[in-house]
Amino acid sequence: MGTVGDAANKDTNGSLAEKKPTVVFVLGGPGSGKGTQCANIVQHFGFTHLSAGDLLRAEQKSGSENGTMIQNMIKEGKIVPSEVTIKLLQKAMEESGNDKFLIDGFPRNEENRAAFETVTQIEPAFVLFFDCSEEEMERRLLSRNEGREDDNIETIRKRFKVFLESSLPVIQHYESRGKVRKIDAGRPIEEVFESVKAIFTPKNEKAE
């Protein structure tokens, strides 16, 4: 972990921040439809979709030293350090060759948010917040139950609680800076995407 590593980190941070990528944080409770809408945004607007959870899972499967450490932390119910997740996000951003990113399910809390800006020197363009009632999210999760063992009612309610307690401060922080684009996610997929499109379409194209 010596100074050589630190110097290398500075290099990658510099190059990524210098490219001035467009980063959009995508937040919403479990079942708010984030994944579906992210897929639509990728298709229509050429963004690269990065899910913090997927990157952590892929790293665990890779069998790397980092992966084993992540696995053990998750097993013990601990939260993976922000730096670890951020490094995975950075690496994925650099390897994608793109300059427009949807970062999904991150930052999960205020500490994540501060660390992301410090480590990457990148501030998000805005936060896309899928606002959906707890009843509706519950209904969706229970009806989709794709064999995910975490889709039972107790676990779902726990996940809502964690989302509210940890993510709301992040949303409030960006709200105070005028950077939150809130979407009513309780509507049908097509309607929600119309609202999403309006946010991502450059102003000059809207007049056409």
Question: 80: annotated binding-site residue?
Answer: yes
Question: 32: annotated binding-site residue?
Answer: yes
d(CA 23, CA 42): 13
d(CA 111, CA 173): 12
Question: 187: annotated binding-site residue?
Answer: yes
Could you give phi then psi for residue 127, rounded to 5 degrees? -115, 125
Question: 10: annotated binding-site residue?
Answer: no
Question: 105: annotated binding-site residue?
Answer: yes
Question: 57: annotated binding-site residue?
Answer: yes
DSSP letter, residue 79:
P
Residues near 52 by beta carbon (within 8 Å), at least 6 away in sequence:
85, 88, 89, 103, 104, 105, 106, 108
Question: 109: annotated binding-site residue?
Answer: no
Question: 144: annotated binding-site residue?
Answer: yes
Strand partners, 51: 104
Continuous segment of H or E residues that includes residue 103: strand 100-104
Token pair recorded at residue 110? 């205020």
Question: 197: annotated binding-site residue?
Answer: no
How many C-beta neighbours within 10 Å does residue 29 have? 26
Question: 67: annotated binding-site residue?
Answer: no
Question: 108: annotated binding-site residue?
Answer: yes
Question: 79: annotated binding-site residue?
Answer: yes
Question: 85: annotated binding-site residue?
Answer: no
Question: 33: annotated binding-site residue?
Answer: yes
Question: 112: annotated binding-site residue?
Answer: yes
Question: 181: annotated binding-site residue?
Answer: no
Question: 148: annotated binding-site residue?
Answer: yes
Chain centroid to Cα 107, Å, comes to 6
Which residue numbers belong to the known binding site for CMP? 112
Which residue numbers belong to the known binding site for ATP? 31-36, 144, 187
Which residue numbers belong to the known binding site? 31-36, 57, 78-80, 105-108, 112, 144, 148, 159, 187
Which residue numbers belong to the known binding site for a ribonucleoside 5'-phosphate? 57, 78-80, 105-108, 148, 159
